[in-house]
């Protein structure tokens, strides 16, 4: 029995699951009969959020590599399978310095390495389930530079590159790996800058709009796609411009050696 799409009885893990996107996503998945496990930092508030949503809560700091594996093992032990991993935990920087390297490393640790560790942990479980989905919450800041938060842009850009690099290798296992790249959305992460948007009349997404795109990425995502989500636009796969190809001495377009290509293009 494979659950490559959100059907009743599927099991989903959502990191950073008690935050704005995680809560909206959980509501939509629960409506479809999906068993949802919310993994987040330990607090009374976070445990209460999960209980109110009818979801299980597990403690996870995504920067702890071994803890990511332990959480996936717990999900498989308690629910028998894992069908989708939403690697969604994230923080933004708040420093006013041009470059605050301590903060940069903190943000990259959560927003990029957390995704790498989550992927490492989820892949074998998804294979054992006969396939499934990994949906990474990146950001528009991964496609477009963010002058006020370089660590965030690097982490999210890295997450997009990670998804695009790995996704073709996972297709043969029936695993669809995608990224979502929302613009600014109304969750706690924009609390420090919400006033700026309001003063400027700048539209922000609702968490529900983003959650719809997350469900869509599981249900029908194209491997390696990075879905941009913007107010008034909806979710669209970002069109990456190709890079210039190398030329041989005779001016022919050089072809990348087979061993360096994804299996499907060898």
Residues of this chain that interact with ligand NAD (CB under 6 A) are 15-16, 18-22, 40-41, 60-63, 88-91, 110-111, 137, 139, 182, 184-185, 187-190
Minimum gap (Å) between residue 259 Cβ and ligand NAD:
34
Is the CB of 10 or the CB of 187 nearer to ligand NAD? 187
Q: How far apart are CA 222 and CA 240, in angstroms?
A: 14
How many other CB atoms are there within 10 angstroms of residue 123's CB atom? 21
193: which residues sit within 8 A by CB, 6+ positions away?
Answer: none
Minimum gap (Å) between residue 252 Cβ and ligand NAD:
42
Minimum gap (Å) between residue 205 Cβ and ligand NAD:
7
Contact 82, 13 (CB under 8 A): yes
Minimum gap (Å) between residue 262 Cβ and ligand NAD:
26
Q: How far apart are CA 182 and CA 141, in angstroms?
A: 9
List the catalytic residue out of 117, 152, 227, 238: 152
Is the CB of 21 or the CB of 57 nearer to ligand NAD? 21
Q: How far apart are CA 179 and CA 162, in angstroms?
A: 9
Is the CB of 90 or the CB of 131 nearer to ligand NAD? 90
238 tagged catalytic: no
Tokens of 18: 């008690």
Residues belonging to the active site:
152
């Amino acid at each position: 029995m494979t659950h490559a799409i959100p059907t009743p009885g599927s099991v989903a893990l959502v990191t950073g699951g008690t935050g704005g996107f995680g809560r909206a996503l959980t509501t939509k998945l629960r409506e479809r009969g999906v068993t949802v496990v919310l993994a987040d930092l330990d607090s009374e508030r976070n445990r209460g959020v999960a209980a109110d949503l009818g979801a299980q809560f597990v403690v996870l700091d995504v920067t702890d590599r071994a803890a990511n594996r332990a959480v996936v093992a717990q999900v498989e032990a308690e629910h028998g399978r894992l069908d989708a991993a939403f690697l969604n935990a994230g923080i933004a920087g708040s420093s006013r310095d041009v470059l605050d390297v301590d903060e940069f490393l903190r943000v990259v640790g959560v927003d990029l390495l957390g995704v790498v560790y989550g992927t490492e942990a989820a892949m074998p479980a998804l294979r054992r389930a006969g396939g499934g989905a990994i949906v990474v919450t990146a950001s528009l800041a991964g496609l477009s530079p963010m002058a006020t938060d370089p660590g965030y842009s690097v982490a999210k850009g890295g997450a997009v590159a990670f998804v695009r690099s790995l996704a073709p290798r996972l297709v043969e296992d029936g695993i669809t790996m995608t990224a979502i790249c929302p613009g600014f959305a109304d969750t706690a992460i924009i609390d420090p800058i919400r006033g700026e948007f309001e003063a400027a009349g700048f539209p922000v997404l609702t968490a529900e709009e983003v959650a719809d795109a997350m469900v869509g990425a599981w249900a029908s995502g194209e491997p390696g796609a990075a879905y941009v989500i913007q107010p008034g636009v909806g979710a669209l796969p970002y069109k990456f411009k190709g890079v210039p190809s190398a030329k041989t001495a005779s001016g022919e377009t050089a072809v990348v050696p087979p061993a360096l290509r994804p299996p499907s293009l060898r």
